[in-house]
Amino acid sequence: MIKYTGKGVYGAVAIGNVSVFKRQGAEVKHDHVEDIEAEKARVEKAKELAIEQLQAIYEKALKEVGEDHAQIFEVHMMMLEDEDYNDSIINLIDTRKVNAEYAVKVTADNFAEMFASMDDSYMQARAADVKDISNRLIACLGGGGSSDASGDGKYVVCADDLAPSETVSLDKEKVLAFVTSHGSSNSHTAILARNMNIPAIIGVGDEFLENIKDGDFVIVDGFTGEVYVDPDPETLEVMTKKQTEDIEKKKLLQDLKGKENVTLDGTRIKIFANIGSVKNVGAVLQNDAGGIGLFRSEFLYLENDDYPTEEEQFKAYRKVLEDMGGRKVIIRTLDIGADKQVDYFNLDKEENPAMGIRAIRICLTRPEIFRTQLRALYRASAYGSLGIMFPMITSVSELEKINTICESVRAELKAEGVVIPDNVEHGIMIETPAAAVISDLLAPMCDFFSVGTNDLTQYTLACDRQNPKIEPFVDTHHEAILRLIKMAAENAHKHNCWIGICGELGADTTLTETFLRMGIDELSVSPTFVLKVRDQVRKIDLSK
Ligand code: PEP
Ligand code: MG
């Protein structure tokens, strides 16, 4: 038995035989051509064929994984039409008299390198997309397309990396799991695997692919990121049990849809979901969350090349509110800075960005950006039940300034004839120790608190959340953090303010009872954890 370890991107266990993914168009010859015009015409024809194929993949993805995830193939079609990309291919044929395949390959390598060298992890992940469309184009220059790895039966598909189009082209019925030597958890492939509910492990390293061959018997543990090749009988037994238990657990969780979040003694709690994009609302509804406890609105800014306009933001917020059909939606005003950098904000480089000009500090120093977002939020508020939440609060004076700006924006809109319902709630994140300590002063000024345990942990324990080396020092259950949450809960309730938790700790079911005993009113977790937390709540008896 040999064990390889990577990163699990979807927690489930698969046991079966390997099919090594075979890709066409990987070998590209470098030829000299005389008839440049004929070569350019070949590119045009291949492009048409590639677009036809992508359209078919888009339609397949639409049925299998939904519109949000199918959109990447529309992006691929657009990338194939990109002027710079096409100019580069044509230019290489014109100036270096090379064959079309080679021109596409060189262009793909250059573009992929450019994307990979960008700081932004989203842009880095686009390197895989440009390689994907180029491989397709090269295959189409040969008249065909890329092959998939599935034969008869079900397989564990192993590859160096899988492009999104390759992932979705595989027959889902024949794939037990994905294992790739490379890849990032931010890639669309990882996202698609999660959405297809297929166990997947990325980044197991080159050695794995060098040693693995078709037909090898493997166990894939998507929870731990471990792959066992030719497992011994004991491992097989343990993992078979783990697989059976997981399947049973997931089945049982489905039965919890439509059930209440109520403890054995009758205490109720709200379980909401966190989202980063309008596109995630489907997952919120599928997992039966009672509302959205955190919409990280900064992703609207991160996805754009320029400040999203008031109209663009209004449309996005309205859509989320409408899609949630009257259920509560808490939208957090932008939390840019620290790890979430956006070039067009032109923020100064800082020694210590987590403690620098970020989140509300940007909004208060650049009120025009803040006012645009607030206008969009208030305009959208008539379409559902909105809560507006402010991040990184440390003082009463910040909240006073925020309230003044909010009042002025509301007055401006009312003068324009915009109707703003009275039920819009205003709340703050408790994610700095300062906010928790002065929560008695902040609570009378808010409708709700939401504890951001991710930042609260980093600031309380002085442990940079971006630094993996510091992880051994991070005790997420540290008494200091729990005391701060309890203090905030007590102060909130004294002042008629409700309190939720939207940081990752909210999904830690070993703490659910502790949170319930503190009187936490709402837990907002990633959509896939909603039913798991509901399950835990329903097992707790607070009367004991
Ligand atoms: C938090 O800090 O816990 C939080 C929810 O916000 P973010 O992770 O976006 O900083
Ligand atoms: Mg935070």
For ligand 1, pick from 334, 431, 461, 464 the residue to mutate: most ligand atoms within 8 Å of CB. Answer: 431
Beta bridge pairs of residue 158? 20, 179
The one catalytic residue among 69, 140, 158, 188: 188
Mean pLDDT of 285-290: 93
- Give the pLDDT confidence score for residue 188 in this predicted structure: 56
Ligand 1, atom 8: closest residue by C-alpha = 454
Task: State if residue 296 touches ligand 1 by the CB under 6 angstroms criterion.
Answer: yes
Nearest CA to 6 out of 308, 220, 259 is that of 220
Based on the residue annotation, tell me whether 463 is a catalytic residue of this protein.
Answer: no
- Those residues whose C-beta lies under 8 Å from the C-beta of residue 17, and which sit 6 or more positions away, are 153, 155, 156, 214, 215, 216, 217, 218
- When mean pLDDT is compared across 75-84, 340-349, 533-542, the lowest value belongs to 340-349
pLDDT at residue 186 greater than cutoff 70: no
For the chain, where do the domains classified as CATH 3.50.30.10 start and end? 2-21+149-237
Task: State if residue 335 touches ligand 1 by the CB under 6 angstroms criterion.
Answer: yes
- Give the pLDDT confidence score for residue 367 in this predicted structure: 96
> Which segment, 17-21, 24-28, 58-62, is predicted with the most confidence on average?
17-21
pLDDT at residue 164 greater than cutoff 70: no
Ligand 1, atom 4: closest residue by C-alpha = 452
- Give the pLDDT confidence score for residue 313 in this predicted structure: 97
Mean pLDDT of 53-63: 83
pLDDT at residue 146 greater than cutoff 60: no
Task: State if residue 502 touches ligand 1 by the CB under 6 angstroms criterion.
Answer: yes
- Give the pLDDT confidence score for residue 148 in this predicted structure: 46
**Other beta carbons less than 10 A from residue 328's beta carbon:** 20
Mean pLDDT of 121-142: 83
Mean pLDDT of 495-502: 98
- Give the pLDDT confidence score for residue 147 in this predicted structure: 44
Ligand 1, atom 1: closest residue by C-alpha = 452
Rounded to the nearest whole angstrom, what is the distance from the C-alpha of residue 449 to the centroid of ligand 2?
13
Task: State if residue 453 touches ligand 1 by the CB under 6 angstroms criterion.
Answer: yes
- Give the pLDDT confidence score for residue 89 in this predicted structure: 95
- Give the pLDDT confidence score for residue 484 in this predicted structure: 98
What is the position in ligand 1's atom list of the atom closest to the CA of 453? 3
- Give the pLDDT confidence score for residue 187 in this predicted structure: 57
CA 222, chain centre distance (Å): 18
pLDDT at residue 7 greater than cutoff 50: yes
Rounded to the nearest whole angstrom, what is the distance from the C-alpha of residue 443 to the centroid of ligand 1?
20
List, for residues 225-274, the tens digit of each pLDDT value: 999 999 999 999 999 999 999 988 888 888 999 999 999 999 999 999 99
Rounded to the nearest whole angstrom, what is the distance from the C-alpha of residue 296 to the centroid of ligand 2?
10
- Give the pLDDT confidence score for residue 479 in this predicted structure: 98
Q: Which helix or strand (DSSP H or E) is residue 243 part of? A: helix 233-255
pLDDT band (50, 70, 90) for residue 152: low
List, for residues 375-404, the tens digit of each pLDDT value: 999 999 999 999 999 999 999 999 999 999
pLDDT band (50, 70, 90) for residue 16: very high
Three-state SS letters, 419-449: CCCCCCEEEEEECCHHHHHCHHHHHHHCCEE
pLDDT at residue 150 greater than cutoff 60: no
Rounded to the nearest whole angstrom, what is the distance from the C-alpha of residue 268 to the centroid of ligand 1?
25
Rounded to the nearest whole angstrom, what is the distance from the C-alpha of residue 127 to the centroid of ligand 2?
29
How many percent of the chain have pLDDT more than 90? 63
Q: Distance between CA atoms of 137 and 140, rounded to whole angstroms? A: 5
List, for residues 351-364, the tens digit of each pLDDT value: 898 999 999 999 99
CATH superfamily of 36-141: PtsI, HPr-binding domain (1.10.274.10)
Choose which CATH entry (3.30.470.10, 3.20.20.60, 3.30.750.80, 1.10.10.60) describes domain 261-537. Answer: 3.20.20.60
For the chain, where do the domains classified as CATH 3.20.20.60 start and end? 261-537
pTM of the model: 0.65
pLDDT at residue 430 greater than cutoff 60: yes
> Which segment, 11-20, 135-144, 191-200, 469-478, is predicted with the most confidence on average?
11-20
What is the position in ligand 1's atom list of the atom closest to the CA of 391? 6
Which-ligand-closest: CA of 294? 1
Task: State if residue 455 touches ligand 1 by the CB under 6 angstroms criterion.
Answer: yes
Based on the residue annotation, tell me whether 32 is a catalytic residue of this protein.
Answer: no
Which-ligand-closest: CA of 501? 1
pLDDT at residue 88 greater than cutoff 80: yes
- When mean pLDDT is compared across 162-176, 202-216, 494-508, the lowest value belongs to 162-176
pLDDT at residue 433 greater than cutoff 90: yes
Task: State if residue 388 touches ligand 1 by the CB under 6 angstroms criterion.
Answer: no
pLDDT band (50, 70, 90) for residue 517: very high
- Give the pLDDT confidence score for residue 24 in this predicted structure: 57
pLDDT at residue 144 greater than cutoff 60: no
Contact 16, 176 (CB under 8 A): yes
In the three-class reduction of DSSP (H, G, I as helix; E, B as strand; rest coil), residue 17 is classed as strand
How many percent of the chain have pLDDT more than 70? 94
**Other beta carbons less than 10 A from residue 165's beta carbon:** 25
pLDDT at residue 151 greater than cutoff 50: no
CATH superfamily of 2-21+149-237: Phosphohistidine domain (3.50.30.10)
Ligand 1, atom 6: closest residue by C-alpha = 452
For the chain, where do the domains classified as CATH 1.10.274.10 start and end? 36-141
Selected residue with higher pLDDT from 164 and 88: 88
Rounded to the nearest whole angstrom, what is the distance from the C-alpha of residue 218 to the centroid of ligand 1?
37
Task: State if residue 500 touches ligand 1 by the CB under 6 angstroms criterion.
Answer: no
pLDDT at residue 408 greater than cutoff 50: yes
pLDDT at residue 224 greater than cutoff 80: yes
Q: Over the chain, what is the mean pLDDT? A: 90
- Give the pLDDT confidence score for residue 153 in this predicted structure: 75
In the three-class reduction of DSSP (H, G, I as helix; E, B as strand; rest coil), residue 29 is classed as coil
